[in-house]
């Protein structure tokens, strides 16, 4: 489905991503881990074409998306929606309008200018907010919501694009453990129920282990681990993080695991 083939990104002499190769043959949820500066964001940005690759290719269903221009590039960007740590909502705009922004790519300039949205889109936006458990906040300004709620609005905006892939760059790094859990569970359910692929950069090992089917470890721009969460032992983590014998998982851990010690590893699949 998605093949990342020897992808490299240079910033001057600095190699941020170094011949990264990754094959995703069916929809899954992937966590990318690695220390700060390992190249996680750069890799996601290249997939979404927010940043161009220096070398290598990204093939989606056989098509090289690194070559797309103009309308086709925008269509691809819409098909691999991106979610950011800081939500990137319009703070003073109401929630439902923020979600409707997810349809911008396919609307005319005139319609955008006058804030005209088809009724069907408005209903769909409300349905998506409802699915994420935040429909009651639809009319509020985005800035009036908690961080976890705002991130769910960002997820709703992404879903409005009906993407095949959701790229999430540290989606829970600004959230407290409870909100982080809600957001990760939402992403997991979107993967399980809709069959969308989710690729999330994550700071913490336990989050990657708990929610992802596959974990990719990056170090100095290279992919140094690609395997199942079970294979991510402390020894492997030490290699990925380039840490010594004093490496402690607690250093890359949130309290989510502690809060959920009695729950199964996979989030249950009840409606969000």
Applying CB under 6 A, the residues found at the interface with ligand ATP are: 11, 14, 16, 34, 36-42
Cα torsion at 155, 153, 32, 54 (round to 10°)? 80
Nearest distance from residue 46's CB to ligand ATP, in Å?
Answer: 10
CA distance from start to end of the chain: 27
Q: Which of residues 32-51 bind Mg ion (CB under 5 A)?
A: 40-41
Of 2, 24, 25, 29, which is closest to residue 185 (Cα–Cα)?
29
Q: Which residue's CB is nearer to Mg ion, number 218 or number 232?
A: 218
Nearest distance from residue 140's CB to ligand ATP, in Å?
Answer: 30
Instruction: Give whole-number Cα distances, 247 to 141, 226, 231, 253, 256, in Å.
Output: 43, 20, 17, 12, 20
Nearest distance from residue 44's CB to Mg ion, in Å?
Answer: 8
Q: Which residue's CB is nearer to ligand ATP, number 1 or number 243?
A: 243
16 binds, among Mg ion, ligand ATP, none (CB under 5 to 8 A by kind): ligand ATP
Q: Which residue's CB is nearer to ligand ATP, number 156 or number 202?
A: 202
H helix or E strand, kind and range, residue 37: none
Rounded-to-integer distance, Cα 207 and Cα 85, Å: 15
DSSP 28: -
Nearest distance from residue 17's CB to ligand ATP, in Å?
Answer: 7
Q: Which residue's CB is nearer to ligand ATP, number 112 or number 174?
A: 174
Positions in the binding site for Mg ion (CB under 5 A): 40-41
């Amino acid at each position: 489905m998605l093949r990342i083939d020897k992808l490299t990104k240079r910033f001057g002499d600095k190699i941020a991503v170094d011949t990264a190769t990754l094959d995703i043959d069916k929809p899954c949820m992937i966590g990318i881990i690695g220390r700060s500066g390992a190249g996680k964001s750069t890799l996601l940005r290249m997939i979404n074409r927010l940043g161009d690759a220096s070398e290598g290719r990204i093939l989606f269903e056989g098509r090289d998306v690194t070559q797309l221009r103009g309308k086709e590039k925008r269509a691809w960007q819409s098909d691999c929606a991106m979610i950011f740590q800081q939500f990137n909502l319009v703070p003073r705009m109401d929630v439902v309008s923020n979600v409707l922004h997810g349809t911008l790519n396919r609307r005319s300039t005139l319609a955008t200018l006058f804030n005209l949205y088809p009724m069907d889109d408005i209903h769909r936006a409300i349905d998506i907010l409802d699915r994420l458990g935040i429909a009651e906040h639809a009319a509020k300004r985005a800035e009036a919501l908690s961080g976890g709620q705002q991130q769910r609005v960002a997820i709703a905006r992404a879903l409005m694009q009906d993407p095949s892939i959701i790229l999430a760059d540290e989606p829970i790094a600004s959230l407290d453990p409870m909100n982080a859990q809600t957001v990760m569970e939402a992403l997991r359910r979107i993967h399980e129920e809709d069959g969308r692929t989710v690729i999330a950069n994550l700071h913490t090992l336990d989050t990657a282990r708990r929610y992802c089917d596959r974990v990719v470890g990056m170090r100095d721009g290279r992919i140094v681990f690609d395997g199942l969460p079970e294979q991510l032992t402390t020894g492997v983590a030490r290699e990925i993080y380039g840490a010594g014998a004093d490496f402690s998982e607690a250093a890359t851990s949130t309290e989510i695991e502690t809060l959920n010690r009695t729950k199964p590893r996979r989030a249950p699949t009840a409606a969000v």
